[in-house]
């Protein structure tokens, strides 16, 4: 099973700042089949990024994904108050596993 480790556990930033979230895989993710989801409190997750770097429909361009192999990054270029959420990475190249999540707090 591919284990995904996300860091940091919590990120506390001010509006307008840049957020960089990391997702590291225990082995190479086939085909860069890596997705990112946003989950706000009390809500279901929402797809942000798939294929490591493709934005899902309707996702603002301040969200971007990058990386390949075992190291992936989600960047939020200019934080807005509504970006307060937990962000999960998920690999789907070998079964499906999620990272443990990164909580983004807005100061």
Partner 1 sequence: EVQLVESGGGLVKPGGSLRLSCAASGFTFTTYSMNWVRQAPGKGLEWISSITSSTYIYYADSVKGRFTISRDNAGNSLYLQMNSLRADDTAVYYCARDAYGDHFFDSWGQGTLVTVSS
Residues forming contacts to partner 1 in the complex (CB under 8 A) are 33, 35, 37, 39, 43-47, 50, 56, 88, 90, 92, 95-101
Instruction: Tell me how far, at minimum, the Cβ of 77 lies from partner 1, in Å.
Output: 22
Burial classification of residue 107, based on how many CB atoms lie within 10 Å of its CB (0-12 exposed, 13-18 middle, 19 or more buried): exposed
Instruction: Tell me how far, at minimum, the Cβ of 86 lies from partner 1, in Å.
Output: 8
Rounded Cα distance between 1 and 39, Å, is 24
Instruction: Tell me how far, at minimum, the Cβ of 97 lies from partner 1, in Å.
Output: 7
């Amino acid at each position: 099973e591919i284990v995904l480790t996300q860091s940091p556990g919590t990120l506390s930033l001010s509006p307008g700042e840049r957020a960089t979230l990391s997702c590291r895989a225990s082995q190479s993710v086939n085909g860069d089949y890596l997705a990112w989801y946003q989950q706000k409190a009390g809500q279901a997750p929402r797809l942000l990024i798939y294929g490591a770097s493709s934005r899902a429909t309707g996702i603002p361009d301040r969200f971007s994904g990058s990386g390949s192999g075992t190291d992936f990054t989600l960047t939020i270029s200019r934080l807005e108050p509504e970006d307060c959420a937990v962000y999960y990475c998920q690999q789907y190249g070998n079964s499906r596993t999620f990272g443990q999540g990164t909580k983004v707090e807005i100061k």
